[in-house]
Structure 1
Amino acid sequence: MKVLVTGAAGFIGMHVCERLLARGDEVVGVDNLNDYYDVALKEARLARLTPNPRFRLSRLDIADREGIAALFAAERPQRVVNLAAQAGVRYSLQNPHAYVDSNVVGFVNILEGCRHNGVEHFVYASSSSIYGGNERMPFSEHDNVDHPVSLYAATKKANELMAHTYSHLFNLPTTGLRFFTVYGPWGRPDMALFLFAKAILEDRPIDVFNHGKMRRDFTYIDDIAEGVIRVLDQPAQANPDFDKQTPDPATSWAPYRVFNIGNNQPVELMAYIEALELALGKTAKKNFLPLQDGDVPATYADTSELKHVTGFSPAMPVTEGVRRFVEWYRSYHS
């Protein structure tokens, strides 16, 4: 297949591209290499992809309407994976317009490209943040998600709504993937594991929010990439038996669906830190702080729908995943 992957220089994007290339697909990568975090890291990720003759990169912002339209018309990909987005819950409090430009305007541009060029399946990144103030655990795709607690989460909810509209109006198969706290080698420097490792090695204290009383469904990057590929290979189907009298948020009469991709094993934040201390061979100095605005105390994914459809469920133990991250981190910074 020819697959267009936006955010190809990103954390998840690079890993997805590597898997597609390894199995023989042609990959058209899209990335604007913005400076939200270290561009050198993005370039180092791309350096793993560019030697492959079946990969090519278009340095393009998905918010560029004309540019994206021209790219789709020229390449006519069979399937599309949209991973380009302005990430980060906390940064959305500081720079909201960046989220609207990339996550809303850019998302519509990709949808339009899919609509006008016969794309067979559109898979896109949503987020566990979409569950907002929900307190019932584990989070299920069948839960109502109408109460986001950050603009970032609101844009991801908007993505799911827009995708459904295109599935309904234009019969475009779409699948949204709600990622749960992704970590591992080649991760973003603004993510907790990266920040913690750097601070511990530099003998600086780490900021531990909500006084450490947090749980996260930490999901290893290889499991995320595997889930993306498996979903991509099974386009969403219309559901003629959908009950419009008692609608279900997770399904539709249209070829539309959403899945959680999480480890289904929430881990206490302090245990996560202990795994990192063990892998680094050094104890962290801790600065305990209150819960931040826009954050939630716990996440926990129900992955039964993903397993039912694809036969796959993430399962990497945090201790092993963190060990692999530290191994990469030391190698990369050596």
Structure 2
Amino acid sequence: MALSRRAFAQGYAGLGETADGFAPVTPGKVFSFPADHGPHPDFRIEWWYLTANLVDARGAACGLQWTLFRQATEAGPQREGWANQQLWMGHAAVTRADTHRFNELFARGGVGQAGVDAKPFAAWIDDWEMKGADSTDDRMLAPLTLKASSTDFNYALTLQADRPVVLQGDAGFSRKSERGQASYYYSQPFFRARGSLVIDDKTVDVSGQAWMDREWSSQPLDPDQTGWDWLSLHLSSGDKLMLYRLRQKDGKDDPFGNWILPDGRAQQIFAADIQMTPKGWAEVAGRKLPVEWQIAIPSRSFTITCKPLNPAAWMGTGFSYWEGPISFSGSHDGVGYLELTGY
């Protein structure tokens, strides 16, 4: 699938290119479920993105990722078969303190090799799938089953939740720059995960917490933005926190966040109240990456230090980035995931 690889290899910086002909992201959208769990082909790019912080029966930490990306090569009505302009890419990974494994798949739209159905929910690429059933609650997007495999790992999980999905940003409108770049963005941060993980033919039972992000846009970055640093945090109190910092070429990075209460209510956190400071670096894949962070939100008396389970959690895919499980301590403690793009 060389065509797919070329389209995605432009990386996150390509998301700042002009997106003429695609649908714009504007404030005031009324989200509708299950429809918005499905694809939005009028927009240029979107993803179904799940990370899980797990432990095995001995209490050893591990993490996994399952992601399906859709990108349109051009705007306009959808064509049939191999002429379809949708490209699909899947990423799967498992991470322990001693190893990080990943795999990548590509598919062309229009031929059934990859896609997403809104009801019953199903997202798939080849034999990887995130799948619901007739009993899946559309508001919660649960229960689901999840599976992926590679030559040296595979996993299968069941995902349960008892609270609805959470709209990020301003009622699901997630601003990315002062010049109008934005996305539609919601999450299910309340998944409880249980299943099995196989690495080098050794199977372990795992359980823990998972977080799913749904995001779609036509131009989520400004041309002056090079990438982002994103965190999803499960606090031991039951609260959840999403933070990201969009890096700009002039050094005036722009942070955003949402604090999610245990009952599912979300409260925006604005840039003036967010301090994201790199504290530790790792040399990975010829890059210097900020894998340890100090995060402060003064209005909430929140100050933590985040450390990675495995500093070498580089996704050496055609669409490369760092993604791995973290733990944090300080005024609050817990676990989460860190993503670093554009380095």
TM range (shorter): under 0.3
Q: Bigger relative contact order, structure 1 or 2, given CA contacts below 8 A and separation 6+?
A: 1
* TM-score calculated relative to the size of structure 1: 0.28
Higher strand fraction (1 or 2) = 2
TM-score normalized by the length of structure 2: 0.27
